[in-house]
Structure 1
Amino acid sequence: MERTPDPASEPLDAVLPNFEELVEPTTTTTERRIKKAEKKERMGLNALHVTPLFVLRRDISAKFPMEMHEHIIAQLGHDRHALSACSLVSTYWSASSRYHLFQTASMIHVHRDNFQQFCELLATQRLNIYIGRLRLETHVIDDRFDGGATFQFNHDLHRFAGLPSLKYLRLEGHHDDLFPEFFAALGQNFQSVTDLELISMFFDSLEQFLEVVESLPLLCRLLVDGSTRDEGTQTSPTYSQQKKLVDVVAICDTMPEVLAWLPFQSNIRRLAISISRWDRDAQTPLLSNVFRMLGPQLEHLILHDTDTSHPLDLSATTALHTLEIIGIECLRATTQSDLEWVPALLSQLCSPVLRRLALVVHLEDHRGVDLLDWLRIAESLARVNSLAQVPPTQELRAAGGAVGETVSIFATIV
Structure 2
Amino acid sequence: MVPYLPPELTDHIIDYLHTDSRSLAACALTCRQWLPASRYHRFGHIMLQIHTCMKFAWLLEASPELARAVRSIKLHNLLYVVRAWNNVSLEFLGALTAVTELTLDNMRMAGGVHRAFLRTLPALRELTLRDCWFETLHDFAALLSSFQNLEYVSISLLIGLTYAVEPPLPSLPPGLHTIELAELVWDRIPALALLNWLKDIPNPRTILTLSCNVMWEVWPTEVLLDIFGSHLQHFEFVVKSEASLDSVLGKDGFSLSGLPCLRSFALRLYVATMCVRQNRDLLWIPKLLAQLRSPRLHQVTLSLHIDDMQDLSALASENAVRKLSRASYADLTALGWESICETVAREDFSSLQKFVIEGKGPTSFLEAYIEREYPDLHQRGVIAFA
Q: If the length of structure 1 is used for normalisation, what is the TM-score? A: 0.67
Q: Is the 8 A contact 2:208 2:232 kept in 1?
A: yes
Match of 1:373 in 2: 336
Match of 1:178 in 2: 110
Q: Is the 8 A contact 1:336 1:372 kept in 2?
A: no
Q: Is the 8 A contact 1:172 1:201 kept in 2?
A: yes
Alpha-carbon distance between aligned partners in 1 of 2:115 and 2:170, rounded to the nearest angstrom: 20
Match of 2:56 in 1: 118
Match of 1:158 in 2: 91
Match of 2:47 in 1: 109
Match of 1:92 in 2: 33
1:385 to 350, 363, 379: 350
Give per-residue Cα distances to partners, 1:267-321, cap 9 Å, x unaligned: 22222221232xx1xxx23312322332233222211117334253222222222
Q: Secondary structure at the match of 2:124?
A: coil
Q: Secondary structure at the match of 1:204?
A: strand
Match of 2:285 in 1: 342
Q: Does 1:313 align with 2:245?
A: no
Please list every run of 5 or more consecutive structure 1 residues that lacks an aligned counterpart in the other structure: 1-55, 145-150, 391-396
Residue 330 to residue 140, structure 1, CA distance change in 2 (3 Å): closer
1:345 Cα deviation from its structure 2 partner: 1.5
Q: Is the 8 A contact 1:268 1:298 kept in 2?
A: yes
Residue 215 to residue 290, structure 1, CA distance change in 2 (3 Å): same
Q: Is the 8 A contact 2:271 2:307 kept in 1?
A: no
| Structure 1 residue ranges, 4+ long, deviating more than 6 angstroms after superposition | 397-400
Residue 170 to residue 285, structure 1, CA distance change in 2 (3 Å): same
Q: If the length of structure 2 is used for normalisation, what is the TM-score? A: 0.71
RMSD, matched Cα: 3.7
1:123 Cα deviation from its structure 2 partner: 1.0
Match of 1:129 in 2: 68
Question: Which amino acid in the other structure matches residue 110 of structure 2?
Answer: L
Match of 1:292 in 2: 226
Alpha-carbon distance between aligned partners in 2 of 1:297 and 1:112, rounded to the nearest angstrom: 42
Match of 2:325 in 1: none
Alpha-carbon distance between aligned partners in 2 of 1:71 and 1:156, rounded to the nearest angstrom: 35
Alpha-carbon distance between aligned partners in 1 of 2:37 and 2:288, rounded to the nearest angstrom: 49
Q: Secondary structure at the match of 2:221?
A: helix
1:73 Cα deviation from its structure 2 partner: 5.8
Alpha-carbon distance between aligned partners in 1 of 2:198 and 2:354, rounded to the nearest angstrom: 34
Alpha-carbon distance between aligned partners in 2 of 1:126 and 1:143, rounded to the nearest angstrom: 32
% identical aligned pairs: 21
Residue 338 to residue 252, structure 1, CA distance change in 2 (3 Å): closer
1:218 Cα deviation from its structure 2 partner: 1.2
Question: Please, which moves more after superposition, 288-297 or 375-384?
Answer: 288-297
1:210 Cα deviation from its structure 2 partner: 0.6
Q: Does 1:167 align with 2:130?
A: no
Question: Which amino acid in the other structure matches residue 275 of structure 1?
Answer: V
Q: Is the 8 A contact 1:295 1:317 kept in 2?
A: yes
Residue 139 to residue 374, structure 1, CA distance change in 2 (3 Å): same
Alpha-carbon distance between aligned partners in 1 of 2:46 and 2:198, rounded to the nearest angstrom: 30
Alpha-carbon distance between aligned partners in 1 of 2:150 and 2:293, rounded to the nearest angstrom: 31
Residue 374 to residue 398, structure 1, CA distance change in 2 (3 Å): farther
Q: Does 1:327 align with 2:265?
A: no
Match of 1:266 in 2: 205
Please list every run of 5 or more consecutive structure 2 residues that lacks an aligned counterpart in the other structure: 309-327, 356-362, 371-377
Q: Is the 8 A contact 1:224 1:250 kept in 2?
A: yes
Question: Which amino acid in the other structure matches residue 337 of structure 2?
Answer: W
Alpha-carbon distance between aligned partners in 2 of 1:207 and 1:398, rounded to the nearest angstrom: 53
1:120 Cα deviation from its structure 2 partner: 0.8
Match of 2:4 in 1: 60
